[in-house]
Amino acid sequence: MLAGLEPATARLAEAEEVVDALGDDRLRARLDYQRANIHGRVGDLASAWDGLEGAVRRLDAFTEREQASVHLSRGMLAFELLRPQEALESFAEAARLAHELGGREQEFMARHNEGYAAYLLGDIPRSLADMAGAEDIESDVFKGPARLDRARVLLEAGLVKEAVEALHAGLAGVSGDGHDQIRAEFQLELARAHRLLGHLDLAADAARSARETYGRIGATAWAAKAMLVGLLVDLDRQRRVRRDRERLERDLVRRIVGVGDASVALAAAATADELTETATELGDSELADSARVVAAQALLLAGDVAGANSRLLSLERVSTASLSDELDAAAVTAMTLVAAGDVTPARRILVRASRRLAAGQEGSASLDLRTARAVHGARLSELDLELAVPRGSGAVLEALERWRSATDRLPSLGRPDDEQLAVLTEQLRAVRGHARGETDPDQLRELHDHASRLERQIRDRDWALSRSGTSARAIPVRVREARALLGQVDRDLVWFYRHRGRLAAVGVVGGRAVMRDLMPIERAAELAQRVRVDLRAAATHHLGPLAGAVWSSLRSSAAELDTALLRPWRSERGLVVVVCPEVSALPWALLPSMVGRPFTVALSLTSFARRAAVAPDASGTGGARVHVSVGPGVPRATSEARTILGTWGAGDEPPGPSRRDELVRALARPGVVHVAAHGTHQVESPLFSSLVLHDGPVFAHELQPTGVRADHVVLSACEVGLASARPGHESLGLALSLLSLGARSVVAAVAPVPDDVAATTMTRHHELLASGLPSDEALARAVSETDDVAAAFLNLGGQHRP
């Protein structure tokens, strides 16, 4: 540290002569450890590793506390050498030793770094679990780096908003002198997160701040990383300008690659090339590869396809834990191939990328975590669709299927019970219960804040739970087989998607696939939102003289949507509808051509077919096992329950006060489940959407350990059919959680429905269902026979045929 490497190695050589003369192997182990530290400080990682391996071979030369330090050092060096499995093993042993010795600081560092090693191995749940375990260890260790690492893992998991919150909180905790480096690291991760969210100005500011700080303290490699993020933001801005032009652009290559400012793109490429050289000189292969990918993107925008290809060919393909980096590189490679005229290899890359994303989602037992990670595939799915459109309707169906609701194709979650999660959920239930009866505004605000804190803790724990090995595999269904099934059940398909600023759709009508361009996406979103707002107002039944105006506005918007979205297909059959966010949560039965017409809102075509491929497994009276739960504060719930039970021949005695555990058990077995209870959809935290029973709310996340095997679930509650859209073609909500966890079909409302209308509609639905009609047809007839506001009820997922 005082005079550099040469005098240090000379002194070390003198020490080695003494050790040789003494023949002391225990002293030789300490010599090897010191050699490793010296070489590690100057960046000679290979020599450092050799020294540490020598020390590890003679661990008995060290005290137990020193052994923990040796394993910690070995783990940190394994990080640098991209050997995460060895890092994981070293940190686990260091944590064990430190725990036995009561060394809290060492245990914290080892346990946290064990989590980071799990992240490098791609095991996000274990990573979050180990990091959470480290946080529970009381120690005086500076927690800034640990909080930064956790935010990085959240970002990789696709929980971008949560990562931003964690980064801001961590940044607030590293104020004052002496923390320049870590403040810059927080800013760098903020830049990456804001870029993923599309907040380019915030991303640029954060990247600039990080770069300036790194430059001031002489952290060359880190400054290069910040510059790369800044370049990516500049290129994103070019693409954003390009999107405004591409609607008129007919050339496929120019639409995909872009038509940005060549001078800006070339300047970015030159900077990226310089950063590649810097990274190579520093021996940072991972950074060099990242810079080459950025240079390739910039050269593509500038029209230099050969230059972009040469950068990609020089990639060292360093293995990293980052699924997002891997998918970004796949997108750039595919675009380069398209620009070079090699469209078929580009499509193959996209297919492989979709499988890689699904593999990255599969390891988690958290539905929240699975759906969030899809954000990293959003860009690839757009590219896949762009390549598919010129090839026709069949190719478009295949492309949409590849990326839509990948979680629905994954194995069921099979999450284990968790005591800590159960305790936190009980606390949340109690707080929610207090809030319902509280009238004091200050107390109510405090209870809501307490509930929010508990929800964050529950989500943290939920993310950390790995999928158990006992879950069943999803049934594979090909698009060709799914199309054939449509004919067998006498249904047509309309799948809506956004493309070049328009709402488009691909349909399968009478067995024939066809694409249609329908209307401007902004107009479709505006009309859909108007219908939702008007229906919510109409459902209050207290409009007085305003009722006519509200219904007139609603019917006008519904008619325009009907003309643009449905009438062009000239289909007379029942429909399977797959929506995009702009037209989600629509009361389709209010559109004139859908009145009395059976339809199902499905996650995808193969999702609908897969549910039809699962044979019902029901038993009990009348050939169907029926369970009814009722909640408090629903005036007609008891008579509704009695009627439904009588309809299915399950007796006419009203059920007593319904309990949460009874409903969870009923959902976990085949049969029909009806819930007449109030419910809520949580927009920001959809897995905390709930149904309120007599002993408290049942939250969506509580259904994950047992899964759902019910054939048909009817939720006679307000708005629990709503879902919160997430980037990457995923959504979350109570009804969609039931489907993702294994339900075959769900009936739920996307708007408030008066209790009397809900009771009348649902009892009629069960009557028709019990008579042998499939669930979509039974619901369509029940809705058409009652009040128009009953159109809020949708048949979701698939058909149930009793």
HEC-encoded secondary structure of 745-783: EEEEECCCCCHHHHHHHHHHHHHHHHCCCCHHHHHHHHH
Q: Nearest-CA neighbor of 301 among 249, 239, 241, 387?
A: 239
Is residue 317 within 8 A of residue 286, CB to CB? The reply is no
Order the strands of the 679-680 sheet from edge to edge. 679-680, 690-693, 696-699
Q: What's the confidence (pLDDT) of residue 245?
A: 47
C-alpha distances out from residue 591 to 558, 597, 729, Å: 5, 10, 25
- Tokens read off for 649: 């021949």
Q: What's the confidence (pLDDT) of residue 568?
A: 96
Query: Which contiguous run of DSSP H or E holds residue 730?
Result: strand 730-732
CA distance 157 to 152: 9
Q: What's the confidence (pLDDT) of residue 240?
A: 61
Sign of dihedral through CA atoms 407, 587, 710, 455? Answer: positive
Sign of dihedral through CA atoms 453, 459, 461, 463? Answer: negative
CA distance 513 to 483: 9
Pairing of strands 574-578, 491-499: parallel
Alpha helices in 102-251 (DSSP H): 104-120, 124-135, 144-156, 160-172, 180-197, 200-217, 220-246
Is residue 331 within 8 A of residue 422, CB to CB? The reply is no
- Tokens read off for 198: 């599309």
Is residue 53 within 8 A of residue 73, CB to CB? The reply is no
Sole residue written with tokens 């069921």: 412
Query: Which contiguous run of DSSP H or E holds residue 22?
Result: helix 5-22
Q: List, as own/partner pairs, every contact residues 280-288 make where C-beta atoms lie below 8 angstroms and the sequence separation is at least 24, other chains included.
A: 282/43, 282/220, 282/221, 283/43, 283/45, 284/221, 285/316, 285/318, 286/82, 286/318, 286/320, 287/221, 287/224, 287/225, 287/228, 288/316
Q: What's the confidence (pLDDT) of residue 46?
A: 82
Q: What's the confidence (pLDDT) of residue 657?
A: 85
Q: Nearest-CA neighbor of 1 among 40, 27, 57, 49?
A: 40
- Tokens read off for 382: 């757009």
Order the strands of the 712-715 sheet from edge to edge. 512-520, 502-509, 491-499, 574-578, 599-601, 793-796, 745-749, 712-715, 672-676, 626-630
Q: What's the confidence (pLDDT) of residue 775?
A: 96
DSSP state of 364: B
CA distance 798 to 746: 8
Query: Which contiguous run of DSSP H or E holds residue 179?
Result: none
Sole residue written with tokens 């325009």: 560
pTM of the model: 0.87
All residue ranges of the chain with pLDDT < 70 are 1, 42-43, 240-260, 318-321, 363, 405-416, 466-475, 541, 613-624, 651-654, 728
Please spell the DSSP secondary structure of 60-90, one letter per residue: GGS-HHHHHHHHHHHHHHHHHTT-HHHHHHH
SS3 246: helix
Q: What's the confidence (pLDDT) of residue 407?
A: 60
- Tokens read off for 712: 């048909």
Q: How far is CA 546 from the centre of its chain?
A: 42
609-661 confidence digits (pLDDT tens): 998 865 555 444 345 689 999 999 888 888 999 999 999 987 666 677 899 99
Alpha helices in 464-587 (DSSP H): 479-488, 521-538, 547-565
SS3 800: coil
CA distance 727 to 737: 17
Measure CA of the first residue to CA of the last residue in the chain; give whole Å. 78
| Residues whose CB falls within 8 Å of the CB of residue 142, separated by 6 or more in sequence, listed in order | none
Residue type for position 80: E
- Tokens read off for 784: 């058409």
